[in-house]
């Protein structure tokens, strides 16, 4: 419809004064009249469904009936005038009236919009903005046509109508492509779109300038006859010389044209700056960028902060769609990641899958490369995630990082100057990265040391603060973790004045994890002891609770022994723990008490209960009960020999006359002397109970 209007309007512009009543002249005018009458109603009708349906308009039939009715009346009126009143003046007046009708219909559309604005569906962004602007340009074109005819007496230039309708077509195409409407993918890359808009805008300005020059060149100018004298300026009634009049006219046209050119040049500059900013085409300042990046590189930052600072600054300076940075340790381990332009999970997956391949492919590079030079599989992955360039970061020949750079927001690729700049920056990063590695290592060590010190204090506080004072028993205990914290524990549960329950245990492993489980099982045992359970029942209940919390690769050995002075008996149950070493003073010998039992958390509750057995025997004055963890007998010397049970039993016999605390210290010192300079291999716990 609009193209037909352009053709008809163009033909009619050249033939409007040739009112031949031949077939083609009549067809030209009717085509022109039809398009002039129905172009705006059809546009209004289209906007009821585009870019999406608007039920508030569709349900009210009168909204579209009104413009079509006016269009029909307008077309009929123009046809009657042309066929029955074939004079140029009447036809021109009818056409001018039709243009005013079109202007009124456009205004009608805007009025309808403002009336029902609140009932319209919420827009996605500024989806209607291009269409609104194009309609305003069309309205301006109609107004310009009338001004041109009424005030200058000349018909409007064909190009003004052409531009107004081109804007409508471009607005439709842009809206369809920008919001993926009608299942069409018409998207044009931003840099191409920028060039097209700038080109059309300049054509529009040139057409305005040409139109203005043509308009002022057709006017007649009357200049006063000014004569300069010694005493002043005289205005003479006599007309100017024709040649001088012509010179003044040309000079006036030249000055007005220069003023118009200057105004349009300024307007073009303002619009171009706006479009450059809108399409991210601002000029890049390499010196400023280098200074800002240098400030980040010379700051004492952690790996994470360094990565965040570099990515944010590169994104901001280069106006990038996507950018990422990966740090490597020892040429292979991915240790620091930061990115912009996609979600965390996708980038982490990318780095984990392709980190080593990135190293292998950039090991021999001294500068950045396009991903087109990578192997096909890697190239496809890089393109899919949005990267276009790969820039290595090296230190002493080793790969310690890589910059991953996508295209700019303007959808332009990085030029050679950009790549050289990024390569130069990457060459300066290695010092900052190595400092960040060192800073992070020190921070981790300090944090671990601080946390372990706190954990050690907590663990020591959880061990018995005092030895129970029970007449007839001399008791002592100690626990020495191999690290700052360990998994060994012991406890004295003293419910009555003449009896005590000794608990000793060992959590598999060492360090913080073992200490956490140790604290948990110790708390459970203390709570269950309030119910006055036997040693066997106490371990069974503990296993039922701990099996819910223990991970599969952890288990706990434990022993519970109830010692009664009144009955001179000991009742014990052993859940996979080291045996109880019993010094029998009557025969001056050490026996190993090894009742059946499996470790806590290893098997099902029923299996644990059935396998665990309870042992009871009598004792006499001078007997000694030695509770240990396996760190005592498994301690090794420089020859990789174990301390062993034989040495332990000999020590116990040799120190039988000593107090419990002295026996404890003698065992610990002997083990340490045996180990020599070897580091303590395992946690060591000793509890001595001597009957006095």
**What is the pLDDT at residue 510?**
63
Choose the most confident range, by mean pLDDT, from 167-171, 326-330, 607-611.
Answer: 607-611
Residues across the chain: 692
How many Å apart are CA 427 and CA 545, to the nearest integer? 58
Mean pLDDT, rounded, for 166-189: 71
Cβ distance 550 to 542 under 8 Å? no
Residue listed under structure tokens 């018995």: 464
- 631-644 pLDDT, tens digit each: 898 888 888 888 89
**What is the pLDDT at residue 359?**
65
DSSP, collapsed to helix, strand or coil, labels residue 505 as: strand
How many Å apart are CA 665 and CA 643, to the nearest integer? 16
Mean pLDDT, rounded, for 298-317: 78
Domain 286-440 has CATH 3.30.450.40: yes
**Residue 344 CA to its chain's centroid (Å):** 5
Apex CA 473: angle with CA 471 and CA 477, to 5°?
130
With bands split at pLDDT 50, 70 and 90, how would you rate the model's confidence at 230?
low
Phi first, then psi: give them for residue 548, nearest 5 degrees: -80, -25
| Angle between helix 190-218 and 158-178 (nearest 10) | 160
DSSP designation for 631: H
Per-residue pLDDT for 49 more than 70? Answer: yes
For the chain, the structural domain boundaries read 195-278, 286-440, 463-691
- 441-467 pLDDT, tens digit each: 777 777 777 766 776 776 676 778 788
Q: Give 614 or 308, the one with higher predicted confidence.
A: 614
Bin 249: left if φ > 0, else alpha if -120 < ψ < 50, else beta: alpha
The CATH superfamily assigned to 463-691 is PPM-type phosphatase domain (3.60.40.10)
DSSP designation for 372: G
**Maximum CA extent, the chain:** 156
How many Å apart are CA 652 and CA 656, to the nearest integer? 6
Q: For the ranges 116-125, 469-478, 670-679, which has the lowest average pLDDT?
A: 116-125
- 252-276 pLDDT, tens digit each: 889 999 999 999 999 999 999 888 8
How many Å apart are CA 24 and CA 21, to the nearest integer? 8
- Average model confidence (pLDDT) across the chain: 79
Give the C-alpha distances (Å, rounded to integers) separating 441 from 91, 310, 448, 476. Answer: 90, 20, 10, 41
**What is the pLDDT at residue 391?**
82
**What is the pLDDT at residue 583?**
93
Mean pLDDT, rounded, for 347-361: 67
- Bridge partners (DSSP) listed for residue 685: 479
Q: Which residues of 633-662 are buried (b: 16+ CB within 10 A; e: fewer)?
A: bebbeeeeeebebebbbebbeebbebebbe
- 117-172 pLDDT, tens digit each: 888 766 555 777 787 788 788 777 767 766 766 665 555 555 666 677 777 777 87
Nearest to 426 by CA among 397, 403, 396: 403
Q: What percentage of residues in the chain have a pLDDT greater than 90? A: 16
How is residue 447 written in tokens? 């944090």
Per-residue pLDDT for 221 more than 80? Answer: no
- Start-end of H helices in 85-127: 88-115
**What is the pLDDT at residue 151?**
61
How many Å apart are CA 204 and CA 211, to the nearest integer? 10
The count of C-alpha atoms lying within 13 angstroms of the C-alpha of 656, restricted to the half-sphere facing its C-beta, is 18
Cβ distance 138 to 78 under 8 Å? no
**What is the pLDDT at residue 229?**
61
Mean pLDDT, rounded, for 290-299: 77
């Amino acid at each position: 419809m609009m193209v037909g209007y352009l053709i008809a309007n163009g033909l009619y512009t050249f033939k409007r004064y040739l009112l031949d009543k031949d077939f083609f002249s009549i067809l030209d005018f009717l085509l022109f009249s039809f398009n002039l009458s129905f172009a705006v109603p059809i546009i209004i009708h289209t906007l009821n469904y585009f870019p999406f349906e608007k039920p508030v308009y569709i349900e009210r039939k009168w909204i579209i009936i009104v413009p079509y009715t006016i269009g029909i009346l307008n077309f009929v009126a123009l046809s009657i005038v042309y066929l029955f009143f074939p004079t140029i003046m009447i036809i021109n007046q009818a056409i001018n009236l039709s243009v005013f009708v079109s202007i009124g219909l456009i205004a009608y559309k805007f009025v309808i919009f403002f009336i029902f604005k609140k009932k319209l569906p919420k827009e996605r962004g500024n989806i209607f903005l291009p269409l609104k602007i194009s309609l305003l340009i069309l309205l301006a074109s109609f107004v310009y046509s009338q001004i041109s005819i009424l005030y200058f007496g000349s018909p409007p230039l064909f190009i003004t109508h052409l531009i107004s309708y081109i804007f409508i077509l471009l607005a439709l195409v842009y809206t369809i492509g920008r919001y993926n409407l009608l299942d069409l993918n018409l998207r044009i890359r931003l840099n191409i779109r920028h060039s097209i808009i700038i080109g059309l805008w300049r054509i529009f300005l040139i057409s305005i300038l040409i139109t203005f020059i043509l308009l002022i060149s057709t006017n007649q100018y009357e200049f006063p006859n000014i004569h300069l004298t010694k005493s002043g300026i005289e205005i003479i009634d006599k007309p100017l010389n024709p040649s001088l009049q012509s010179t003044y006219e040309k000079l006036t046209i030249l000055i007005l044209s220069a003023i118009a050119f200057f105004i349009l040049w300024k307007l073009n500059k303002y619009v171009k700056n706006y479009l450059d900013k809108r399409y991210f085409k601002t000029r890049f300042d390499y010196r400023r960028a280098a200074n800002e990046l240098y400030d980040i590189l010379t700051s004492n930052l952690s790996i994470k902060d360094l990565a965040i600072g570099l990515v944010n600054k590169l994104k901001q300076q280069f106006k990038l769609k996507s950018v990422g940075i990966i740090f490597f340790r020892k040429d292979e381990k991915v240790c620091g990641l930061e990115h912009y332009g996609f979600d965390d999970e996708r980038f982490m997956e990318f780095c984990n899958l392709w980190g080593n391949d990135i190293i292998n492919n950039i090991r021999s590079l001294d500068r950045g490369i396009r991903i087109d030079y990578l192997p096909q599989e890697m190239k496809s992955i890089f393109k899919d995630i949005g990267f276009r360039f790969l820039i290595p970061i090296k230190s002493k020949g080793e790969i310690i990082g890589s910059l991953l750079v996508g295209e700019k927001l303007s959808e332009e690729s990085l030029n050679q100057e950009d790549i050289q700049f990024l390569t130069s920056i990457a060459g300066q990063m290695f010092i900052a990265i190595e400092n960040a590695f060192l800073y992070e290592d020190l921070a981790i060590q300090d944090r671990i040391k601080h946390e372990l010190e706190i954990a050690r204090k907590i663990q020591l506080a959880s061990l018995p603060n005092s030895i129970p004072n029970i007449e007839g028993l001399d008791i002592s205990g100690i626990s020495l973790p191999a690290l700052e914290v360990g998994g060994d524990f012991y406890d004295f549960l003293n419910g009555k004045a003449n009896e005590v329950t000794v608990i000793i245990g060992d959590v598999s492993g060492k360090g913080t994890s073992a200490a956490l489980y140790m604290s948990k099982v110790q708390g459970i045992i203390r709570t269950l002891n309030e119910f006055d359970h036997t040693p066997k029942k106490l371990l069974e209940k503990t296993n039922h609770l701990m099996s819910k919390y223990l991970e599969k690769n952890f288990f706990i050995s434990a022993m519970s022994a109830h010692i009664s002075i009144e009955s001179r008996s000991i009742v014990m149950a052993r859940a996979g723990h080291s045996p109880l070493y019993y010094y029998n003073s009557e025969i001056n010998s050490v026996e190993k008490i090894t009742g059946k039992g499996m470790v806590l958390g290893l098997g099902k509750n029923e299996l644990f209960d059935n396998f665990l057995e309870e042992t009871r025997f009598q004792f006499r004055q001078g007997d000694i009960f030695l509770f240990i963890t396996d760190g005592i007998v498994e301690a090794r010397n420089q020859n990789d020999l174990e301390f062993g049970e034989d040495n332990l039993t000999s020590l116990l016999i040799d120190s039988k006359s000593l107090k419990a605390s002295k026996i404890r210290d003698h065992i610990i010192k002997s083990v340490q002397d045996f180990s020599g300079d070897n580091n303590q291999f395992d946690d060591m716990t000793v509890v001595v109970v001597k009957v006095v």
